[in-house]
Amino acid sequence: MKKIILPVDFSDSSDKLVDFAVGFAKDVNAEIALIHVAATDIGFVIGDIGFQYFPEVEENEIKFELKELNKLEQRVISQGVNCSHILKQGIAGDTILEFAEEKDADYIVVGSHGRSGVYDVFIGSLTKEITRKSKIPVLVVPCHDE
């Protein structure tokens, strides 16, 4: 059975990506592995006295993200596609590509938000990074509003 890696960020485009990935998985007889990469600095804030760490903030955010991953996993399974999920912390692009290699994935499905130009220069594009560095075929799904 083929394996599809599906990075999700719980934005509005995640629903569109899940729908596409489920249809594609059915077409190629694949299972889906959802991955969400959480920020490594979730519990840190900057205040008058410098950096402070609040472990309860990080714990609550991780719990929320795991709950959202579980919902997406159940949504995929309910449509007849095998699915698993993982939450990792790290640098998103590198973490996703490492996970895809670990899973011996056949495809990575990512979204494109339709931004370009100045946005990419200052913010960067995870999709661009993944497509540039991946040794695995990457399917880019347009997720911007028309």
Determine, yes or no, domain membership for 7.
Answer: yes
pLDDT for position 130:
94
pLDDT digits 0-9 by tens, 8-48: 998 888 889 999 999 999 999 999 999 999 877 665 566 66
Tokens of 100: 């895809």
Number of domains forming the structure of the chain:
1
Determine, yes or no, domain membership for 74.
Answer: yes
Query: Does position 125 have pLDDT exceeding 90, yes or no?
Result: no
Q: Look up the pTM and report it.
A: 0.85
pLDDT digits 0-9 by tens, 74-86: 999 999 999 999 9
Determine, yes or no, domain membership for 66.
Answer: yes
pLDDT for position 120:
46
pLDDT for position 102:
97
What is the CATH number for 133?
Answer: 3.40.50.620
Determine, yes or no, domain membership for 119.
Answer: yes
Beta strands in 1-146 (DSSP E): 2-7, 30-38, 44-47, 50-53, 83-89, 107-112, 138-142
Query: Does position 94 have pLDDT exceeding 70, yes or no?
Result: yes
Q: How confident is the model at residue 119 (pLDDT cuts 50, 70, 90)?
A: very low
pLDDT for position 33:
98
Determine, yes or no, domain membership for 146.
Answer: no
The average pLDDT across 89-113 equals 94
Query: Which range marks the domain in which residue 94 is found?
Result: 2-141
Distance of CA 144 to the CA centre of its chain: 16
Residue 48, number of CB atoms within 10 A of its CB: 5
| Bridge partners of residue 112, in order along the sequence | 142
Determine, yes or no, domain membership for 40.
Answer: yes
Determine, yes or no, domain membership for 29.
Answer: yes
Closest of 109, 38, 24, 93 to residue 67, by C-alpha:
38
